Structure 1
Amino acid sequence: MGEFSDKVKGAADKVVGSVKEGVGKVTNDKELEIKGKAQKLKGEAENAKGTVKGKINDL
């Protein structure tokens, strides 16, 4: 994947992860809350990966 698609996927994962985390807190579902946090972290990593690809392409 390219820089843009990595960043878009990262943003989507952060949003979905936030929703899962919030629903987990409201429903007192610790497993869903943890999965949401993990998906947010995955999104942050994908965003960072896209940023690195962009920097490499700028060289």
Structure 2
Amino acid sequence: MSLTHLTLACGRTTGVADIRLTTTYGDMLESYPFSRLNDMKLSSADAALLSLPWTDLAQDRER
């Protein structure tokens, strides 16, 4: 059962069956977010993403 239906820019329609809401700063014990904290979180996320193995799909298609 869909909660609502969406029409995408391409004309395709899709149904929304579930909506979940999570907190962005749920792991903070106290205080509030500020620019320095945001920058630290983003830099650690960048480092985590850069450490993941990746594949160059363009090179795979050429093979």
Please confirm whether the aligned pair reaches a TM-score higher than 0.5, indicating the same fold: no
| Rg larger for | 2
Higher relative strand content? 2
TM range (shorter): 0.3 to 0.5
- Normalised by the length of structure 2, the TM-score is 0.33
- Normalised by the length of structure 1, the TM-score is 0.35
